[in-house]
Amino acid sequence: MSSSRITFPHRITKTEVLSINPSDVKFELSADPSVHPYEDPTFTTSSSSQTGKAILLAAERLRSSDVPVAFPTETVYGLGADATRDEAVRNIFTIKGRPADNPLIVHIGSLKQARELLRPANASPTETFEIPAIYKPLIDKFWPGPLTILLPLPPNSKLSPHVYATQTTVGVRMPAHPVALALALASNLPIAAPSANKSGLPSPTTAKHVAVDLYKRVELILDGGSCIVGLESTVVDGLSSPPAILRPGGVSLEQIRECEGWEGVIVHKEDGGGNSGGGANGAASGAAPRAPGMKYKHYSPTCGVRLYLPNTDQPSVEMLKSTAFGSDSRVARLGVLRTRQWKELDDKQVEWLRERNVELVEESLGTSGEEISRKLFGALRRMDDEGVVVVHIEGIEEDMEGLAVMNRLKKAASVVIRRRDV
The contact set with ligand TXA (CB under 6 A) reads 73, 75-76, 78, 102-105, 146, 148, 150, 164, 167, 169-171, 173, 175, 193-195, 232-233, 235, 246-247, 290-294
> Which residue's CB is nearer to ligand TXA, number 221 or number 417?
221
Query: b or e along 226-244 (b: 16 or more beta carbons within 10 Å of the residue's beta carbon)?
Result: ebbbbbbbbbbbbbeeebb
Q: State in angstroms the smallest separation of the CB of 284 from ligand TXA.
A: 20
Q: Region of 225 please: left (phi>0), alpha (psi -120 to 50) or beta.
A: left
Q: Residue 220's binding partner, choosing from ligand TXA, Mg ion, none, with beta-carbon cut-off 5 to 8 A by kind?
A: none
Q: State in angstroms the smallest separation of the CB of 333 from ligand TXA.
A: 29
Q: State in angstroms the smallest separation of the CB of 49 from ligand TXA.
A: 24
Q: Residue 238's binding partner, choosing from ligand TXA, Mg ion, none, with beta-carbon cut-off 5 to 8 A by kind?
A: none
Nearest to 292 by CA among 148, 165, 204: 165
Q: How far apart are CA 213 and CA 197, in angstroms?
A: 6
- Radius of gyration of the chain, Cα coordinates, nearest whole angstrom: 22
Q: Residue 171's binding partner, choosing from ligand TXA, Mg ion, none, with beta-carbon cut-off 5 to 8 A by kind?
A: ligand TXA
User: 5 among the known binding-site residues?
Assistant: no
- Closest residue to ligand TXA, judged by C-beta, is 293
User: 13 among the known binding-site residues?
Assistant: no
> Which residue's CB is nearer to ligand TXA, number 189 or number 336?
189
Q: How far apart are CA 287 and CA 245, in angstroms?
A: 12
Q: Residue 38's binding partner, choosing from ligand TXA, Mg ion, none, with beta-carbon cut-off 5 to 8 A by kind?
A: none
> Which residue's CB is nearer to ligand TXA, number 169 or number 226?
169
User: 38 among the known binding-site residues?
Assistant: no
Nearest to 249 by CA among 266, 264, 229: 229
User: 165 among the known binding-site residues?
Assistant: no
Q: Residue 150's binding partner, choosing from ligand TXA, Mg ion, none, with beta-carbon cut-off 5 to 8 A by kind?
A: ligand TXA
DSSP letter (8 states) at residue 399? S
Q: Residue 233's binding partner, choosing from ligand TXA, Mg ion, none, with beta-carbon cut-off 5 to 8 A by kind?
A: ligand TXA
Q: Residue 369's binding partner, choosing from ligand TXA, Mg ion, none, with beta-carbon cut-off 5 to 8 A by kind?
A: none
- At 245, is the secondary structure helix, strand, or coil? strand
- At 234, is the secondary structure helix, strand, or coil? strand
Q: Are 249 and 235 in contact (CB under 8 A)?
A: yes
Q: State in angstroms the smallest separation of the CB of 296 from Mg ion.
A: 9
User: 98 among the known binding-site residues?
Assistant: yes
The alpha carbon torsion through 294, 299, 303, 308 (nearest 10 deg) reads -80
How far, CA to CA in Å, does 70 sit from each of 189, 193, 219? 15, 9, 9
User: 252 among the known binding-site residues?
Assistant: no
Task: Sort 179 into a burial class: Cβ within 10 Å, 0-12 / 13-18 / 19+.
Answer: buried
Q: State in angstroms the smallest separation of the CB of 34 from Mg ion.
A: 37
Query: b or e along 307-322 (b: 16 or more beta carbons within 10 Å of the residue's beta carbon)?
Result: bbbbebebbebeebbe
Helix axes 369-385, 207-214, angle to 10 degrees: 40
Q: Residue 388's binding partner, choosing from Mg ion, ligand TXA, none, with beta-carbon cut-off 5 to 8 A by kind?
A: none
> Which residue's CB is nearer to ligand TXA, number 83 or number 303?
83
> Which residue's CB is nearer to Mg ion, number 77 or number 308?
77
> Which residue's CB is nearer to ligand TXA, number 54 or number 104?
104
Q: Which residues bind Mg ion (CB under 5 A)?
A: 195
Q: State in angstroms the smallest separation of the CB of 85 from ligand TXA.
A: 17
Q: Residue 207's binding partner, choosing from Mg ion, ligand TXA, none, with beta-carbon cut-off 5 to 8 A by kind?
A: none
Q: State in angstroms the smallest separation of the CB of 235 from ligand TXA.
A: 5
DSSP letter (8 states) at residue 34? T
Nearest to 300 by CA among 382, 385, 404, 408: 408
User: 193 among the known binding-site residues?
Assistant: yes
> Which residue's CB is nearer to Mg ion, number 195 or number 339?
195
User: 61 among the known binding-site residues?
Assistant: no
Q: Which helix (H) or strand (E) holds 93?
A: helix 86-96
User: 173 among the known binding-site residues?
Assistant: yes
Q: State in angstroms the smallest separation of the CB of 171 from ligand TXA.
A: 3
Helix axes 50-64, 178-187, angle to 10 degrees: 50
User: 195 among the known binding-site residues?
Assistant: yes
For the annotated binding site for L-threonine, the residues are 75, 107, 173, 193, 233
